[in-house]
Amino acid sequence: MDRDTLRWLTDPDSGCWEELGYQRFPLGEPELVDTVPPVVDWDEVRDHYDAVVVGSGAGGGVAAHVLAAAGCSVLVVERGRALKSTEIGWDPVRNHRTAVFGFGEGVTPVGNPRAVKDGNGEQAVEPHDFRYHNNAVVLGGGTRLFAAQAWRFAPETFRMASEYGVPDGSALADWPITYDDLEPYYDLVEWEVGVAGAPGHTGDGPRSRGYPLPPFRPARSGEMLAEAAARLGWTAAPIPLLINSRPYGGRPGCANCSQCVGHPCPVDAKNGSHNALLPRAAAAGAHILCDTQAARVDDVRGEVELRSEQGQRMVRADRIVLAAGAVETARLLLLSELGNDWVGRCLQGHTYVLAHGHVDADEPVKDGIGPGLAIATREHCHHNNGIVGGGMIADDNAVSPVQHWIMGSWFRPEHQKAAEAAGEVDEYGRPTGASARQALTDTYRRTIMVMGPIQEIPTRSAGLDLSAEVRDRWGLPVARFFGVQHEEDLHTAEFLGDRAKEWIAATGALDITGGSMGFQILSGGQHQAGTARMAGTPDEGAVDPQGKVWGCERTYVADSSLHVTNGGVNPVLSIMANSWRVADLLSR
């Protein structure tokens, strides 16, 4: 994109937002709610705790809350800072959704590179590089900035090997627990944290009860997708979201802003560890220490080595719970020489598919009212002929003008022809200048898009170990990535991408493009999982069914590293539910 068009899209004073009909707060600007849980200083940290929890995201926040509520003395160690929403900000071009422009201030501390193997040995990579597999490093972790889709894994997800067999070259396996084992904890998270939704999706497992909050209403594009699904004979239903559709848990209801995904919530209605769990843990006596790296764990002595700008020290603990995400949890185990040869293996995430089309209509089909995503189909999560697994497809969040451009759905054939006639095309043949602005104006509120993740197949040949060359700010070896995802993922992505285009076509939209976004690389990203997977024996995984690292006495894992498979849906609700289960068992 030429610089003038980029400035036009992102400058609130350029006139673009008015021309396209974009507003940050389409229903009126709310009163800002901007709080963080109380934290302790370095010199307030005790020498001993019943439990040290490393990480404050989806898994760590749950573990800290459950253990503190059970009467345990708890220290939460977070590498990131305790930032208010205003300190993270709402930069339209630098955030965790439009990562091509960087991630914004504060959520990615400097001095923490990672490494990849290449033909010349190793190469250091920084957070803006997709090979880094970045997630937000801040108090609350990814739950500060996520889209908040709160799906349960399907029952079949827990028995993939039994359902489909084990593809050649894969490490596909059944979980050592079942959906029924996790269902009570799914229910706890939905009601204790707050999920808006409604039952009714194909393949959903049994539920103890419904959702505590009603679902969000769809835009006209969502209504069109519901009608199209009915024509195709598919079931489509609301998307469960960790967002308050009305006041809940002492927090306000959603302000319907148009910048939900990739940004903090301006009214604290997006339910994450930072506002729904860590404040309760702190109220029960937990200490939360930020700007601090857990460098090593001594399982025998029950000690965690901490490093910060304030110095270096050891803290003793009866139980040590690792919840730093699938990359950093595995790295910490490797730095500590804990666990078996499954640690760091089977890194997986989500290959995505998308499809979009343009609607000829006098009235816009997108109203910009957030969160925006409201309808999905799980028709193709399992039981697809010749496919191992499948995935969910959903409409997308309300997007900013620059996000609309990044998604690639912003011009039609007639815009292309007009741009060529005017000599306004870039080196890739895309419209620029006045032609680009006209295309964006015409398509911004008249585009329907769906997207979704596939169920990936784990393999031991994809993962991470410790770099021999690259060090972090403390001189410690960083995570070094190796391998690529299993080739079966590409077949699944092609299948699901075709279904996405089929769904868009059934709405009557034109100029349909998209499909699989997959090519054979190492998966992971913000949905990273699997690097310390649970198993019934140490021959099959790194951690036992209760979350304890095989060969350890007091070291546990309570994050996405435990996932044997990662589902064809966003994994955060399963991370939280399984962490609740592990912490509940640990607290007894």
Q: Kindly tell me if the per-residue pLDDT of 99 is higher than 70.
A: no
Instruction: Please check whether residues 224 and 135 belong to one and the same domain.
Output: no
Structure confidence at residue 104 (pLDDT): 67
Query: How far is the C-alpha of 113 from the C-alpha of 119, rounded, in Å?
Result: 19
Residues 267-312: tens digit of each pLDDT: 999 999 999 999 999 999 999 999 999 999 999 999 999 999 999 9
- Position 336 in a domain: yes
Instruction: Please check whether residues 104 and 81 belong to one and the same domain.
Output: yes
Instruction: Please check whether residues 407 and 510 belong to one and the same domain.
Output: yes
Q: Kindly tell me if the per-residue pLDDT of 107 is higher than 90.
A: no
Higher pLDDT, 450 or 400: 450
Phi, psi for residue 313 in degrees, rounded to 5: -155, 165
Query: How far is the C-alpha of 254 from the C-alpha of 346, rounded, in Å?
Result: 37
Instruction: Please check whether residues 7 and 57 belong to one and the same domain.
Output: no
CATH number of the domain bearing residue 380:
3.30.410
Strand 311-322 and strand 555-557: the pairing is: parallel
The label of the residue with tokens 């993270």 reads 88
The count of domains in the chain is 2
Q: Kindly tell me if the per-residue pLDDT of 358 is higher than 90.
A: yes
- Position 535 in a domain: yes
The residue length of the chain stands at 588
- Position 357 in a domain: yes
Q: Kindly tell me if the per-residue pLDDT of 1 is higher than 70.
A: no
Instruction: Please check whether residues 363 and 468 belong to one and the same domain.
Output: no
SS3 of 293, please?
A: strand
Residues 54-63: tens digit of each pLDDT: 999 999 999 9
Instruction: Please check whether residues 58 and 162 belong to one and the same domain.
Output: yes
- Position 458 in a domain: no
Tokens representing 33? 């709610």
Q: Residue range 329-347: average pLDDT?
A: 99
Q: Kindly tell me if the per-residue pLDDT of 248 is higher than 90.
A: yes
Structure confidence at residue 114 (pLDDT): 98
Q: At 101, is the pLDDT very low, low, confident or very high (cuts 50, 70, 90)? A: low
440 in Cβ contact with 405 (< 8 Å): yes
Domain stops at, among 520, 535, 569: 520
Q: What is the DSSP letter of 23?
A: -
Domain stops at, among 471, 500, 520: 520
Q: Could you please report the per-residue DSSP string of 113-166?
A: -EEEEETTEEEEE-TTSGGG-----BTTGGGGT---B-PPPPGGGGGHHHHH--
Instruction: Please check whether residues 22 and 129 belong to one and the same domain.
Output: no
Q: What is the DSSP letter of 538?
A: T
Percent of the chain at pLDDT exceeding 70: 99
Strand 393-395 and strand 447-453: the pairing is: antiparallel
- Position 211 in a domain: no
Structure confidence at residue 91 (pLDDT): 84
Structure confidence at residue 409 (pLDDT): 81
Residues 38-55: tens digit of each pLDDT: 999 999 999 999 999 999
- Position 212 in a domain: no
- Position 291 in a domain: yes
Tokens representing 29? 């600007």
Q: Residue range 224-228: average pLDDT?
A: 98
Q: Which helix (H) or strand (E) element contains residue 343?
A: none
Q: Kindly tell me if the per-residue pLDDT of 379 is higher than 70.
A: yes
Instruction: Please check whether residues 252 and 128 belong to one and the same domain.
Output: no
Instruction: Please check whether residues 294 and 155 belong to one and the same domain.
Output: yes
H helical segments located in 233-359:
278-283, 325-335
- Position 203 in a domain: no
- Amino acid, single-letter form, for residue 369: I
Tokens representing 458? 């784990």
Residues 126-166: tens digit of each pLDDT: 998 999 999 999 999 999 999 999 999 999 999 999 999 99
CATH number of the domain bearing residue 179:
3.50.50.60
Written in H, E and C, the secondary structure of 377-403 is ECCCCCCCCCCCCCECEEECCCCCHHH
Instruction: Please check whether residues 179 and 64 belong to one and the same domain.
Output: yes
**Cβ neighbour number for residue 335 with a 10 Å cutoff:** 19
Instruction: Please check whether residues 492 and 582 belong to one and the same domain.
Output: no
Structure confidence at residue 95 (pLDDT): 80
Domain that holds residue 585: 38-195+271-347+463-479+526-588
Q: At 493, is the pLDDT very low, low, confident or very high (cuts 50, 70, 90)? A: very high
- Amino acid, single-letter form, for residue 226: A
Instruction: Please check whether residues 186 and 136 belong to one and the same domain.
Output: yes
Q: Residue range 540-554: average pLDDT?
A: 99
Higher pLDDT, 93 or 152: 152
